[in-house]
Structure 1
Amino acid sequence: MTSTDPDLTALGPLAKTIADTVQTTPINLGTPEGALPLIQALILNTAAYMGSELPRTPGLAKHMVEVDTERQRQLAKWGDQHHPDGTAEEAAESIADTARRECDEAFAAGRGTWAHILTEEVTEALAEDDPDRLRTELVQCAAVIQAWISDIDSREA
């Protein structure tokens, strides 16, 4: 494998699904419809596999590919990085409370924006000192970012 070849390791489970289907589906060679059961089983099993592996939220798979591309660019530029979290600083909880209040007030007044929502989520993450709760907050940040991207994309359609 060269450095320009894609890493197909992640497709191993899908390849196994296809191989198992081919091995366990009887076919009748020599007739026009002989391979039909195999084709049907491959379509069904591949779709079931993909449905269990790909996100169900419309547009999310595209965003994930874009995020993965950016992560690959970052890894190529800086390598795998490890840094302290830098969260739970002294003023962080107060800043998170302010962002939460401002977000609530903006939406109550009918002027809430994605920026309000994301600011609230990010400041909540920055206020966390527990790694599990920090991870949960960061996932919430990522979900808001994905929703915002989806909203932008829907405007371009």
Structure 2
Amino acid sequence: MEMPEPRTAMSRRRLLCAGGVIGVATAAGWWRLARYRPSHEGGMLGVQAAHAQARAGEILLVDIRTPGEWRRTGVPEGAVPLDMRRDDFIDRLDAFVAQDPNRPVALICAGGVRSARLSRQLLAAGYQQVIDVPEGLHGSSAGPGWLASDLPVRPWNG
């Protein structure tokens, strides 16, 4: 029965180098994912402006996150919580839009990815005035976000 050869200093260095390369590649991938923001053809607003315009009734601010997210963080002041995964999402959105058809719809999510994607879909579906709030509640490459900006939220206990 042959015994395996003991690891040499050279094979240990190779193993450490390979592990380091994998670690750097993984970190770079996570960094890129955290900074990713889909493009958006409509308008964009920062969280401060979105808050001010929602309070003034100039925009319909729609929080498209999930009920679990609303429960954990609350809903931005002035926003309507409407889960984008609902089967009747468009019907519910249409009902809100019908109250003031000239008021733009601004979408906010956690970090700007879902709001940008849904904004593009709504524009393609014929909505005329769709605005993305790319910072979201938790921040993104667009800015610190609603919560870090100390903007008010109201509890959601749905």
- How high is the TM-score relative to the length of structure 1? 0.32
As a proportion of its length, which structure holds more helix? 1
Q: Which has the higher contact order (CA 8 A, sep 6+)?
A: 2
- How high is the TM-score relative to the length of structure 2? 0.32
